[in-house]
Amino acid sequence: MNSMEQQFLEAGTLMVAGMVVVFAFLSLLILFITIVLAKLAVKFPDPIAPTTNRSNKKNKKAASGEISPAIVAAISGAVSRYRQQHSETNSKK
């Protein structure tokens, strides 16, 4: 019985030691990557995209909920053409 207790104690110790080694390795890896990336970020910064403030009447109308008459006309034309094409197809059947 003493032998089994010693084996469990040795297995637990080995497991904890392995977990500590893995934790230490991953911590050092994260620290190393963070330091390298910080140095590279200073040397190669990300380009800043230029921002432009466009004041367009179309954007203001869309924001207020109005639909331009050109869009309404295009949709109406498409719907009427669709109905014409499908009424011919249905009548042929």
Q: Please, which pLDDT band fits residue 1 given cuts at 50, 70 and 90?
A: low
Among candidate residues 36, 37, 17, the one with its CA nearest the CA of residue 25: 17
| Cα-based angle 14, 16, 18 (whole degrees, multiple of 5) | 70
Res 57: pLDDT: 58
Share of the chain above pLDDT 70, in %: 83
65 DSSP assignment? T
> DSSP label at 52?
-
Q: Residue 59's pLDDT band (boundaries 50, 70, 90)?
A: low
Q: Please tell me whether the overall predicted TM-score, pTM, comes out greater than 0.95 for this model.
A: no
